[in-house]
Structure 1
Amino acid sequence: MGRYREMEVFDAVAQTGSLAAGARLLGLSTATVMRMIAGLEARLQTTLLLRGPRGIGLSIAGEAFATSSRQILQEIAEADRSAAGLHAYPAGQLTISVPLLMAHQVFAPIALDYLRAFPDVRLVAQDHEDVPHLLEDGIDVALVVGHLPDSSDFAVPVGTVKAVVCAAPDYLARHGRPQTPDDLKTHLIISSGAPSDWRFLHQGAPRSVRLTPRLTCSTRSGAIRAATLGLGLTRCMSFEAHQELQSGKLEAVLEDFAAPGLPVGLIYREGRRAAARVRTFLDFAVPHLRAHPALRG
C-alpha cells in the first residue's frame, strides 16, 4: 500500500499543480505531502518535481511517472468496481462444462430456469468427457461424474449414477431377458466404440465379460438410439438413457449385477470469494440436481 499511496499523492500534486492543493485534495497536510514526494524521489533516485518561484512543474521523468501512475490508479479503481459488482449482483458470462449427454438429459431445463431467474447472466455451456481443468479452460463451474483427483477446486456432491445394460421391450420379447452376464454372449450387442469388456459385480467381486458387438456406433447417443429401435443390448451410464428408461423405450437388465454407482458433483474455484453469478448458480442448481431422478443411481 505504501507505493500505491505514493502514486496517489504524486498524482494529486501533478493534477493540481501545487503541493498545497494536492494536500487539500487528499485531506493531508502539506508537510506530509512534501515528505512523501521526497521519499518517492529518493526511492526512484530521480527528480520528479521542479520547484521554482512560480510553483512546481514536472521533470521529464515526472511526466512519465505521472502518466504511468494515473493509468495504474485508474486500473485499480476499475478492478475494485468490477469486483464489488461481480460479488454483489449476478451478471456477466457464466461458463459451465457438462458431460455430453448430461446436458440434454438433465442440465438444460435447470439452466433455462436459472437464466429466467437471473436475466443479466449470459450462459455458455460446454460439453466434456474427461474432468475439465477449470482455470486453464476458462470454466466457472463443471458438472463431473466420477471420483475427483486431489485439486484446489471446491466440490459439491449432487448425486450418483451407475452403468446400466438396456434394450427395447420388443427386443427382450423376441430374444429373452439375460439372467447373468454370461448370457450376454448369446445376444446382439450394440457398442459405442468403448471397450467391449463389460464390467459387473457378482457376489461382491468384480468380473468382466468380453463381447463381440454386432453393431458399433461412433457415439453413445447413437448406440442408445439403435437400442430403442430393437437392434440389441447396449451399455451406458444411467443418466445417458434416463429419458428412454423413464418413457419405457428401454428397459434395464442385469440390475442385480450392476457395479457400484459413481458420484456426481459440481466443481468450482474460489469458494466464498467466487463471483455472484457462480454462487447464485450453485445455490440454484444444487437442490434441483439432487432432486433429479437421473442422479439417484
Structure 2
Amino acid sequence: MDRLHLMAVLVAVAEEESFAGGARRLAMSPPAVTRAVAMLEERLGVKLLNRTTRYVRVTEAGQRYVEDARRIIAEADAADEAAMGINGTPCGHLAITAPVLFGKLYVLPVIVEFLQSYPGICVSAVFLDRVVNLLEEGLDIGVRIGVLPDSSMKALRVGSVRRVVCASPAYLAHHGCPKTPLELPAHTLISVGTAVEWKFGQDPEVLTVKTAPRLTVTTNDAAIAAAIQGFGITRLLSYQCAPYLAANELATLLSGYEPAAMPIHILHRESRHANAKVRAFIDLLAVRLRTTPALQ
C-alpha cells in the first residue's frame, strides 16, 4: 500500500481519535483503516497509536510521526496543485486564523473582498484570542501579534501595535489625568483578564505598577464599552481602541511611558510550493494591513 496513503490514514485516525471516525472521513471501511495503521506500524517497527475500547491516542513517537506526516502530505498536495496548473487561478478552501477583535476589524473585510474576487474560493475564519498552531489545527494562514518564537512558519511583517492606556474625556474631566503610571492606583481601573501588573517603559527602564481594578472583564469589547461610559481607565492594544480615539470617545494617556511596539506578522506553513490561494490572500492582506494607519 502506498506510503503516502498510509500516512493520510494515520493522520485521519489521530485527528478523529477513532478508527471509525478516520474511516468515515476517508470513505473507507473500518477494517481497511485498521489494516493500514497496522501495516504502517509494522513497516516502522514502532507503536504509533494506543487503543482502548473507548478511545485512540497517539504515542509519543506517533505524535512526532503525525506532525511530519501532515507536513509531507501538505507538500505533496502543493506539488500536485503546481503540476496541474492550479497555481494559475486561486480556488479551493482556505483556513485563516487571527485574534478575535483584530480578525473582526481588519481580517474579515479582506476575506470578504477576496471571496468576491475569486468565486472558486471558500474560507473558514477561526478568530481566537490564543496562540494557534497552524500545523496541528489544519490552518493555512494566521495573523500573530507579538514577538514570534522560532518556528518552521514563514512570517511576513505587516505592521505594529502599541499597548496604550485610555479613558473617556468625561472621566478625565471629572477625575483628572494621571501624569505618571504611579498615579494610576488612585484612579478607577478597568482590567481585561486577571493581570494585576501593568508594565511601562522599555528595557532597561521598565516600570511595573500593581493595580487593583474595580472592574475586571474577559473581553476587550467590554472594557471599551465601560471606558466609553466614563467608568474608568483601561489598557488596550492601540488597534482595539483606534475607532473610538478617532471619534473622540476615548483619549490616550501616558503616551510617554508606552512599552515597545509589538509587531504584526502574517504566518503560513513552510512549503516549497506556496499555492495560488495562499499567495493571493497573503498578498492582498499584506497590502491592506500595511496601508491601515492604526497598524503603523
The normalised TM-score by structure 2 is 0.70
State the Cα distance separating 1:247 from its structure 2 match.
1.6
Q: Which amino acid aligns with 1:156?
A: L
Deviates more, 1:272-281 or 1:83-92: 83-92
* Structure 1 pair 153–81 and aligned structure 2 pair: CA distance change class (3 A): closer
Identical amino acids, percent of aligned pairs: 38
State the Cα distance separating 1:128 from its structure 2 match.
2.4
* 1:144 paired to 2:144: yes
Aligned partner of 1:8 in structure 2 is: none
**Distance in 2 of aligned mates of 1:157 and 1:81:** 27
Is the 1:106–1:294 contact (alpha carbons within 8 Å) kept by the matching residues of 2?
A: no
Structure 1 segments of 4+ aligned residues over 6 angstroms from their partners: none
Is the 1:92–1:121 contact (alpha carbons within 8 Å) kept by the matching residues of 2?
A: yes
Aligned partner of 2:266 in structure 1 is: 266
**Distance in 2 of aligned mates of 1:176 and 1:126:** 41
Aligned partner of 2:282 in structure 1 is: 282
Task: Specify the SS of the correspondent of 1:236.
Answer: strand
Is the 1:101–1:239 contact (alpha carbons within 8 Å) kept by the matching residues of 2?
A: no
Structure 1 gap ranges (5+): 1-75
Aligned partner of 1:243 in structure 2 is: 243
**Distance in 2 of aligned mates of 1:88 and 1:202:** 47
Is the 2:142–2:267 contact (alpha carbons within 8 Å) kept by the matching residues of 1?
A: yes
Task: Specify the SS of the correspondent of 1:273.
Answer: coil
* Structure 1 pair 277–169 and aligned structure 2 pair: CA distance change class (3 A): same
Q: Which amino acid aligns with 2:208?
A: S
CA RMSD of aligned residues (A): 2.1
Q: For each residue in 1:225-253, what CA deviation from the matched residue of structure 2 results, as whole angstroms up to 9, or x when unmatched?
A: 11111110000111122211222111110
Q: For each residue in 1:185-204, what CA deviation from the matched residue of structure 2 results, as whole angstroms up to 9, or x when unmatched?
A: 11100112231111101796
Aligned partner of 1:60 in structure 2 is: none
* 1:225 paired to 2:243: no
* 1:115 paired to 2:115: yes
* Structure 1 pair 274–82 and aligned structure 2 pair: CA distance change class (3 A): closer
**Distance in 2 of aligned mates of 1:142 and 1:292:** 18
Structure 2 gap ranges (5+): 1-75
Aligned partner of 2:208 in structure 1 is: 208
Aligned partner of 1:196 in structure 2 is: 196
State the Cα distance separating 1:136 from its structure 2 match.
0.8
- Paired residues in the alignment total 220
Aligned partner of 2:92 in structure 1 is: 92
Task: Specify the SS of the correspondent of 2:259.
Answer: coil
**Distance in 1 of aligned mates of 2:194 and 2:119:** 40
**Distance in 2 of aligned mates of 1:231 and 1:140:** 41
Map 1:7-86 to 2 at 5 A: 80=80, 84-86=84-86
Q: Which amino acid aligns with 1:258?
A: E
**Distance in 1 of aligned mates of 2:288 and 2:193:** 32
**Distance in 2 of aligned mates of 1:266 and 1:231:** 36
* Structure 1 pair 111–81 and aligned structure 2 pair: CA distance change class (3 A): closer
Is the 1:192–1:218 contact (alpha carbons within 8 Å) kept by the matching residues of 2?
A: yes
The normalised TM-score by structure 1 is 0.69
